[in-house]
Structure 1
Amino acid sequence: MSAHVGEFRTDAARAVDDDALQQAIDTATGNFWRGRQGALEELPDADALRDHFKEIRHRTLGRLRDHLEMFEANAVDAGAHVH
C-alpha cells in the first residue's frame, strides 16, 4: 500500500468522525436539493425540458468518438499536444 493511500484512509476516517464537517455537508446538500427543487418549480414544463436534455445527452454520447476527434483536431490546430 502506498503512503498516499494510507494518508487518504487516515484523512477519510478523520473526516467521517468530524461532526462539524458532517453537519456542514448535510447543510450544503440540503441547500442544494432545496434550491434545485425551487428552480424546477419555476420552470413552466420541467419534465419536458428534462426529457429534451436527456435526448441531447444520449445523442451526444452516441457520437462521442466524433466529438472527441473534433476536439483533438481543434486542440492540435490551436497548438495543444494531445496524448
Structure 2
Amino acid sequence: MLLSVLLQAAAGVGISKLGAAIGAGIAVLGAGIGIGKIGGAAMEAMARQPEASGDLRMNMIIAAALVEGVALIAIVVCLLTLFL
C-alpha cells in the first residue's frame, strides 16, 4: 500500500528522484545514529576511566568526523542523482 502511494506521488517526478530523496534521508539517519552511539560509548568510557578522557575525546571526535564524512559523500551522491 505504501509503495503504491509513493509510486503514484513520484509518477510526475520520476522514480530516480524519489530514490535520491529516500537515499539522502537514510544517509542522514544513519549518520545521526552512528554519532549518537559514538558519543554514548565515549561518555560511558570517560565515566569508567576519567584519567583517559583526553584520549577518548580525541578518538571520539575523529570517529565522528569519519562518520560525518561518509554521510556527506552519500548525500552528495544522492544530490548528483537528483540533479543529473
Q: TM-score range by the shorter chain?
A: 0.3 to 0.5
Task: Give the TM-score normalised by structure 1.
Answer: 0.35
Q: Which has the larger radius of gyration?
A: 1
Task: Give the TM-score normalised by structure 2.
Answer: 0.34
Please state which structure has a larger fraction of its residues in helix: 2
Higher relative contact order (CA 8 A, sep 6+): 2
